Structure 1
Amino acid sequence: MRLTALSRWYRTEPVPPMPGAPRFVNGVVRLEGPMPDPAALLAALHALEAAAGRQRPFPNAPRTLDLDIVAIDDLRRSAPDPVLPHPRAHLRRFVLQPLADVAPGWVHPDTGRSVEDMLAALPAEDLPEPIPG
């Protein structure tokens, strides 16, 4: 597999809100080519998180790095981890905005809606802030 696109970086508030927590930086990459088993890919991402010093003291804790698989083509997978497409991706502007950068027109295999349609359906509050550079 190879990296074919990298979104802009976006600064966002934590979801769910955590008073006093730092803002997050979000982005999406697009990979193409032969994909490993989704569970093996997720394990590799977790190894990268650990190498970057990520600790998991409690769910949704502030973290140094959080790598997720949003989707693999139109693959639907309910178990075991990872669930694909990501079960909350369509509800999260901080995922959809950078996804639109690297995969405009992408259609969610469960909802049948494009990334642009899903973005338009979300409230305009808490817009991700593009990071210059």
Structure 2
Amino acid sequence: MKLIIIAIGANLPALDGSPALETCRRAAAALDRLPGYRLRALSRWFATAPVPPSPTSPDYVNGVALLRPEGGQDVAAAPAALLRALQGIEDAFGRVRPYPNAPRTLDLDIIGMDGLLRDTPDPILPHPRAHQRAFVLAPLCDVAPGWVHPRLGTTAAQLLAAVGEAGTRPLG
């Protein structure tokens, strides 16, 4: 089965004042409404420290969604279009990009698309830093611990064991 991994994160209130957790939940619902995709699984939500560390930035809420393409969609032809759709969702939730790693109302990243390797930007696949980030790997292990990083040949569970879970804690 074709599998698309989307990381979801937020650490600022939405434009309507909703907390980051509610924004992440709404974003997951928006993913399920994307034409040509269906939400197959959603991880628990995790509170995570900002990376890089920032004493003035609130903790993030992070999770992972697994999407399934529908209608015989060619996943290899879709990364740029999916990225644009994700950025549209971010924009609808008030995402601004004043500087790299700035606090945000919503962040949606494509982590992987059915083992696709893509070196051209927008997006590079798999995500070039996901394997180093517990805030991606901990929720990924909730829904797909056996996912194999297509460049490293290592499972999500092995990657999480290597980086450790420091700075992440399940919510609720």
TM-score (norm 1): 0.94
Moved more, 116-125 or 56-65: 116-125
Is 1:30 the equivalent of 2:66?
yes
How far did residue 124 of structure 1 move?
4.7
One-letter code aligned to 2:100:
P
Q: For structure 1, which runs of at least 5 residues remain unmatched after alignment?
A: none
Structure richer in strand, relative to its length: 2
Cα deviation per residue 1:67-92 (whole Å; 9 max; x = unaligned)?
00000011000103100000001000
1:54 aligns to what?
Answer: 95
Q: Percent identity?
A: 58
One-letter code aligned to 1:81:
D
Secondary structure of the corresponding residue to residue 28 of structure 1: strand
One-letter code aligned to 1:131:
L
d(CA) in 2 for partners of 1:91, 1:66: 17
d(CA) in 2 for partners of 1:57, 1:104: 34
Moved more, 85-94 or 29-38: 29-38
Structure richer in helix, relative to its length: 2
Secondary structure of the corresponding residue to residue 26 of structure 1: strand
d(CA) in 2 for partners of 1:73, 1:123: 25
Secondary structure of the corresponding residue to residue 111 of structure 2: coil
d(CA) in 1 for partners of 2:146, 2:101: 29
Is 1:97 the equivalent of 2:138?
yes
For residues 1-133 of structure 1, what are the structure 2 equivalents within 5 Å? Answer: 1-33=37-69, 34=73, 35=75, 37-126=78-167, 128-132=168-172
Contact 2:138 2:165 in 1 (8 A): no
Q: 1:59 to 1:115 in 2, by over 3 A?
A: same
RMSD: 1.2
d(CA) in 1 for partners of 2:166, 2:45: 18
TM-score (norm 2): 0.73
One-letter code aligned to 1:129:
R
d(CA) in 1 for partners of 2:40, 2:61: 20
d(CA) in 1 for partners of 2:133, 2:98: 23
